Amino acid sequence: MKTLSRFIAVDDDLIDNMLCLYTIKKTGHEFDIQTFNFPEKCFEYIVSEYSKNDDEILTVLLLDINMPTWTGWDFLENFNKLDNKIKQQIKIYILSSSIDEKDIQRAKDNENVIDYIVKPITLDIVSKIILNYSN
Protein backbone atom coordinates (compact mmCIF):
# COMPACT_ATOMS: atom_id res chain seq x y z
CA MET A 1 0.00 0.00 0.00
CA LYS A 2 1.08 3.41 -0.90
CA THR A 3 1.92 5.85 1.75
CA LEU A 4 -0.41 8.80 2.19
CA SER A 5 1.32 11.74 0.66
CA ARG A 6 -1.28 14.38 -0.20
CA PHE A 7 -4.34 16.13 1.25
CA ILE A 8 -6.81 18.05 -0.90
CA ALA A 9 -9.44 20.30 0.71
CA VAL A 10 -12.42 21.54 -1.37
CA ASP A 11 -14.59 24.21 0.24
CA ASP A 12 -16.03 27.52 -0.94
CA ASP A 13 -15.53 28.83 2.56
CA LEU A 14 -12.00 30.18 2.90
CA ILE A 15 -12.07 29.82 6.67
CA ASP A 16 -12.72 26.12 6.37
CA ASN A 17 -9.86 25.62 3.97
CA MET A 18 -7.62 27.59 6.31
CA LEU A 19 -8.66 25.43 9.26
CA CYS A 20 -7.92 22.24 7.22
CA LEU A 21 -4.50 23.49 6.28
CA TYR A 22 -3.78 24.38 9.87
CA THR A 23 -4.99 21.11 11.36
CA ILE A 24 -3.14 18.86 8.84
CA LYS A 25 0.07 20.80 9.42
CA LYS A 26 -0.47 20.49 13.14
CA THR A 27 -0.14 16.68 12.84
CA GLY A 28 3.51 17.22 12.25
CA HIS A 29 3.59 15.15 9.03
CA GLU A 30 4.90 16.63 5.87
CA PHE A 31 2.07 16.34 3.34
CA ASP A 32 1.46 18.01 0.10
CA ILE A 33 -1.73 20.03 0.81
CA GLN A 34 -3.92 21.47 -1.98
CA THR A 35 -6.98 23.63 -1.27
CA PHE A 36 -9.74 24.53 -3.74
CA ASN A 37 -12.61 27.04 -3.41
CA PHE A 38 -14.39 25.61 -6.43
CA PRO A 39 -14.90 21.86 -6.95
CA GLU A 40 -14.65 22.26 -10.75
CA LYS A 41 -11.11 23.50 -10.33
CA CYS A 42 -10.20 20.63 -8.08
CA PHE A 43 -11.61 18.19 -10.60
CA GLU A 44 -9.53 19.69 -13.42
CA TYR A 45 -6.48 19.40 -11.17
CA ILE A 46 -7.15 15.74 -10.41
CA VAL A 47 -7.72 14.86 -14.04
CA SER A 48 -4.48 16.50 -15.13
CA GLU A 49 -2.38 15.54 -12.13
CA TYR A 50 -3.38 11.93 -11.65
CA SER A 51 -3.70 10.69 -15.21
CA LYS A 52 -0.36 11.90 -16.45
CA ASN A 53 1.57 10.86 -13.39
CA ASP A 54 2.75 7.30 -13.42
CA ASP A 55 3.61 7.47 -9.76
CA GLU A 56 0.65 6.73 -7.68
CA ILE A 57 -0.06 9.33 -5.07
CA LEU A 58 -2.31 8.25 -2.23
CA THR A 59 -4.44 11.27 -1.50
CA VAL A 60 -7.07 12.16 1.06
CA LEU A 61 -9.69 14.56 -0.36
CA LEU A 62 -11.85 16.52 2.09
CA LEU A 63 -15.00 17.59 0.27
CA ASP A 64 -17.60 20.13 1.37
CA ILE A 65 -21.17 19.57 0.13
CA ASN A 66 -22.89 22.91 0.12
CA MET A 67 -21.14 24.98 -2.50
CA PRO A 68 -22.41 27.26 -5.30
CA THR A 69 -22.06 26.07 -8.89
CA TRP A 70 -20.83 22.48 -8.26
CA THR A 71 -21.99 21.01 -5.02
CA GLY A 72 -20.05 18.21 -3.35
CA TRP A 73 -22.51 15.79 -4.98
CA ASP A 74 -21.83 17.19 -8.44
CA PHE A 75 -18.15 16.63 -7.82
CA LEU A 76 -18.69 13.04 -6.73
CA GLU A 77 -20.77 12.40 -9.79
CA ASN A 78 -18.00 13.58 -12.08
CA PHE A 79 -15.33 11.86 -10.04
CA ASN A 80 -17.08 8.56 -10.45
CA LYS A 81 -16.63 8.81 -14.17
CA LEU A 82 -12.84 8.85 -13.85
CA ASP A 83 -10.55 5.88 -14.42
CA ASN A 84 -10.28 3.44 -11.57
CA LYS A 85 -6.57 4.09 -11.60
CA ILE A 86 -7.21 7.69 -10.62
CA LYS A 87 -10.04 6.85 -8.23
CA GLN A 88 -7.89 4.29 -6.39
CA GLN A 89 -5.43 6.98 -5.48
CA ILE A 90 -7.97 9.33 -3.95
CA LYS A 91 -9.77 8.67 -0.70
CA ILE A 92 -12.69 11.06 -0.39
CA TYR A 93 -14.00 12.22 2.97
CA ILE A 94 -17.04 14.44 3.14
CA LEU A 95 -16.37 17.39 5.39
CA SER A 96 -19.62 19.26 6.00
CA SER A 97 -21.15 21.44 8.65
CA SER A 98 -24.50 19.72 7.99
CA ILE A 99 -25.72 17.40 10.63
CA ASP A 100 -28.70 16.53 8.41
CA GLU A 101 -29.18 12.77 8.52
CA LYS A 102 -30.18 12.82 4.84
CA ASP A 103 -26.80 14.22 3.88
CA ILE A 104 -24.96 11.70 6.04
CA GLN A 105 -26.86 8.79 4.58
CA ARG A 106 -26.38 10.01 1.04
CA ALA A 107 -22.65 10.26 1.58
CA LYS A 108 -22.43 6.82 3.05
CA ASP A 109 -24.34 5.41 0.10
CA ASN A 110 -21.76 6.76 -2.29
CA GLU A 111 -19.14 4.13 -3.05
CA ASN A 112 -16.42 6.71 -3.56
CA VAL A 113 -16.89 8.23 -0.11
CA ILE A 114 -14.83 6.76 2.71
CA ASP A 115 -16.49 8.61 5.57
CA TYR A 116 -18.52 11.62 6.58
CA ILE A 117 -16.85 14.16 8.87
CA VAL A 118 -18.91 16.84 10.62
CA LYS A 119 -17.15 20.17 10.78
CA PRO A 120 -15.07 21.50 12.38
CA ILE A 121 -12.18 19.26 11.43
CA THR A 122 -10.02 18.38 14.40
CA LEU A 123 -6.49 17.13 14.98
CA ASP A 124 -7.92 13.85 16.23
CA ILE A 125 -9.83 13.17 13.07
CA VAL A 126 -6.94 13.99 10.78
CA SER A 127 -4.62 11.84 12.92
CA LYS A 128 -6.95 8.92 12.63
CA ILE A 129 -7.21 9.31 8.87
CA ILE A 130 -3.43 9.42 8.60
CA LEU A 131 -3.21 6.39 10.84
CA ASN A 132 -5.55 4.56 8.49
CA TYR A 133 -3.10 4.96 5.66
CA SER A 134 0.12 4.24 7.64
CA ASN A 135 1.75 0.96 7.25
| Cis status of the peptide bond prior to 120, with omega within 30 of 0 | yes
Considering only 1-9, 51-59, 113-121, 127-135, which stretch makes contact with another protein by CB under 8 A?
A: 113-121
Residues of this chain, 54-93, that bind another protein according to CB under 8 A: 66, 68-69
Q: Which of 16, 24, 34, 90 binds another protein (CB under 8 A)?
A: 16
Q: Which stretch binds another protein (CB under 8 A): 27-35, 49-57, 86-94, 118-126?
A: 118-126
Residue from 54, 99, 109, 134 that binds another protein (CB under 8 A)?
99
Quickly count: other Cβ atoms within 10 Å of residue 71's Cβ.
16
- In the complex with another protein, the residue whose CB is nearer, 1 or 99, is 99
Give yes or no for a contact between 113 and 92, defined as CB atoms under 8 angstroms apart: yes
Which helix (H) or strand (E) segment holds residue 129: the answer is helix 123-132
Residue ranges binding another protein (CB under 8 A): 12-16, 18-19, 22-23, 26, 37-38, 66, 68-69, 97-100, 103, 118-122
